[in-house]
Structures are given as C-alpha cells and as structure tokens.
Amino acid sequence: MSNTSKFTILKIRDTINYEKSYFYLTIILAFLLPITKAGISLIIILLGLLWIVEGDFKRKYQEIKSSKLLVAFFIFFIFSLLSVLWSSNIEIALHIARKNTYFFIIFVLATSLKKEHIQPIITSFLSAMFLSEVITYGVFFEFWTFWHATPTYLSPIMHHIDYSVFLAFSAILLLNRILSNRYTLKEKILFGIFFLTVTGNLFLSIGRTGQVSFIAAIVVMSFMHFKISFKSLLLSTLLIFSILTAAYNLSSFFKQRVHQGYDDIQKITNLNFDTSLGVRAAFWIATYDIMKENPLIGVGLGDYINETAKVANKAEFSYFGDYSYAFLTRYHPHNQFLLIAIQMGLVGLILFFYIIYTLLRQTIDDPEIKELSILFSTVFFVSCLSEPLLIKQFPLSLFILFMGIFAIYSIKKVPTKMQ
C-alpha cells in the first residue's frame, strides 16, 4: 500500500465521530433485538469493525483489565475456545465457538459507550418491544397475519421460549419503574398500561420459561424495594397471586400449560420422561452420568449430542421412552448450566458462576441500573435453567447488550486519544 493510500485511510479514520457512531449503532441494535437476526448480525459486525478501526488499544486494554466483570468474561471465553481442542465433533465445536465471539461486543460496548447513553438505549429496546406488542395483539385479534404467528402461537419472530424471556424482562423492567420514585405519575400510568399488555402477552403465550423467571424476578424486586420483611413477602405474594389468578382464568393457553406441567411431574415420578418437563429431567440424569467420567474439563465444546446419545443407549437407562430418547440423541440439553457442565466440566461451570457472582457484586452508582442488573440476571439466569439461551442468537444478543451496559460501571475510564 502506498504512503498516499495509508494517509487517506488514516485521514478518514480520524474524521469519524466514534462516540456518536457507537451510540447510534447501539441504539439501532437495541431496537433490532426482538425484530431481526440479520439486522442484529450486521450491527454487531459494524460495532466490531468500528472498535478495531478506532484503535486506541492501550486505553481499551487498561479499561478491560480494571474490570473484574470483563476479566471474568474474558477467562470464560478463552476457556470455551480451548475446549474445542478436546472436542471430537469439530464442526459443532467451531459453530458454537463462532457464536461465542458475540461476547467480544460486551468489551466493545463497555469501553465505548457513556453512562448518559444508557437510558436512550433502554428506551430504544422498549420501543421495539412495543412494536412487537402491536404485531402480536394484531395477530391475536386476527387483524392481520405475520410470518408464522397465529392466535394460538403468539411469537411473531422468534421461538416462543426466547420471546417469553424478552417479555419477562420487559415486564419486570416496567414494573420496577412503576414502583420506583424516579418517575412522574404520567410516566407511571404509561408504564402501567405497557406493563399490562406485556404481561398479558407473556401469559397468553406458551413460553413457561419466561413466566417462571418473571415470577422469580417479582420476588427479587420486592426484596430490593422493601428488604426482607413482612411487607416485601406480602407484596410479592399478592402480586404473584393476582397475576397467576388472572392468567389462569383469562388465558386458556396458560391454564392448559399449568395442567400439562402438573401431568408431566406426575409422569416423571413414574419414570415416564416422554414429556416436555420429562425431557429436561432426562438431561439432568444424562449430564450426571457424563460428568462422572469427565468431571473437570468436560467433553469439549462440540460433543454434547454424541455424549448424551451414548447415555441414552446404555441399558441402565432403558426406561427412557421414544420421545425422550429422540431428544437425548439429537438435541442440546434444555439447560444452559447442564450444557456448560458437559462441554467444559466443573472448571467451565465455576467460571460461568463467577461471571454471575461478579455481576451481582458489582458496584453501580446509578440505583436504577443496579436494580436492573439484578432483575436482568434473575430473569436471564433462571430462564437458563430450562433453555441454553447463550447458543441462540436472539437471547444471546439481549445478553451481550445488557452485559455491555452493566460493564460500563465496572471499569475505570481512561481518557481517549481525542481527550
């Protein structure tokens, strides 16, 4: 490359307003989260390229090194890449490793965004969820059709489990704002209306994952606002009872899923695992059997299907029926923690729990963002008990956006070259 070309590239690079570029790209990312996979991928690529073009790596390295949360993510990411080395199924291992590169965007956001950018980004996300609500209720009342959504399957764009996590987080975010003293009465009325539509959508859908995590988050939120007291216990009990009672009586889908869940538990006690909950229980059994032989570093990033298939074919597990056998031999464990345990053993699981611990222990000087970090963690990680959300693009993107936001408060800011 000639000196003239290098000079031109450097000149163009120096004319970019990086602060605004990061901000606007993240605003777009937040809006696209519940709408389009292709859009998410494009913005993530642009954010990564912008971060590399900007340079200033010495500052970025110092900021990342100052953050326990980012260091925890980095160690987990590196160990996940190393686990490719002891995988025999390299194709699946590399596929998951590529998805894990999304974690890189957490470092981009944490070292590039300002604290004053956070509220507009959250507003952009809620605006997208409002658009999703309009689409969903339009399908429910049969005003229009939209992709694969139907009045009995109210998930217009993503899988119903993933959508239920988005709804649960949006609902608890809005409810937390309603209970706070940071907003005016007019704002709380708007949040209240939005909360009712989101919660209604959550319990009209068939996604029990989000419903359970939402209930868990209500309990946590009550303790945050009123500490562990009679008042917090009473408030959380009344809220949960009111929501569940309304959902049970108004939503035939929710009522059906409640009865189905009860029947599933009854069948599990009789060693019948050929149900939705039964399959999840079967994966717990399979994971324990795999961990006995591969306790420390697991079987590698790509071998989880092969290993659970081996367990399913053992004579001692002949009580697994056709339905549960099919899942054990073809699909991922319906649990993020079990998946990590199989892939990376106790070491990987401890590193993942350390990320959660570091996030929850992190000091955040904005009380609302601190509350949001705890509520997001509750919704997301409780949901991880029934689905490996970090290998699925929509929930993974939700995760990296908000982890990036929370990580802003974990670093010691260093002046940029331009300052």
Residues 6+ apart with CB under 8 A from 343: 80, 83, 96, 298, 299, 300, 301, 302, 303, 304
Poorest-confidence range of 4-8, 307-311, 352-356? 4-8
Residue 119 has pLDDT above 80, yes or no: yes
pLDDT band at residue 402 under the 50/70/90 scheme:
very high
Radius of gyration of the chain (CA): 23
378: number of Cβ within 10 Å: 23
DSSP state of 320: -
Average pLDDT, the chain: 89
| pLDDT per position as a tens digit, 194-208 | 999 999 889 888 778
143/176: higher pLDDT: 176
pLDDT for 231: 67
Half-sphere exposure of residue 40, counting CA atoms within 13 Å on the CB side? 22
Say if residues 323 and 109 touch (Cβ distance below 8 Å).
Answer: no
Which of 266, 355, 268, 317 is closest to 71 using CA atoms? 355
Over range 296-320, report the average pLDDT: 90
State which amino acid sits at residue 116: E
Half-sphere exposure of residue 331, counting CA atoms within 13 Å on the CB side? 15
Residue 25 has pLDDT above 90, yes or no: yes
CA distances (Å), origin 344, targets 120, 176, 330: 37, 36, 20
Residue 4 has pLDDT above 60, yes or no: no
What is the Cα–Cα distance from 26 to 48, expressed in whole angstroms?
12
What is the Cα–Cα distance from 371 to 180, expressed in whole angstroms?
10
Strand partners, 41: none
156/418: higher pLDDT: 156
Over range 289-308, report the average pLDDT: 92
Over range 379-399, report the average pLDDT: 95
Backbone angles phi, psi at 268, to 5 degrees: -60, -40
pLDDT band at residue 232 under the 50/70/90 scheme:
low
Residue 8 has pLDDT above 60, yes or no: no
Tokens of 418: 């331009």
| pLDDT per position as a tens digit, 207-218 | 788 989 999 998
What is the Cα–Cα distance from 156 to 159, expressed in whole angstroms?
8
63: number of Cβ within 10 Å: 21
Tokens of 181: 């003293």
DSSP assignment of 124-174 equals HHHHHHHHHHHHHHHHHTTS--BTTBBTTB--SSS-HHHHHHHHHHHHHHH
Percent of the chain predicted with pLDDT > 90: 58
Say if residues 270 and 321 touch (Cβ distance below 8 Å).
Answer: no
Strand partners, 149: 146
Which of 215, 211, 208 is closest to 237 using CA atoms? 215
What is the Cα–Cα distance from 181 to 233, expressed in whole angstroms?
20
Collapsing DSSP states into helix, strand and coil, what is residue 285? helix
| Residue owning tokens 């025999």 | 88
What is the Cα–Cα distance from 419 to 416, expressed in whole angstroms?
5
What is the Cα–Cα distance from 112 to 146, expressed in whole angstroms?
36
Tokens of 235: 């408030």
The gap from C-alpha 256 to its chain's centroid, in whole angstroms, comes to 26
Residue 12 has pLDDT above 80, yes or no: no
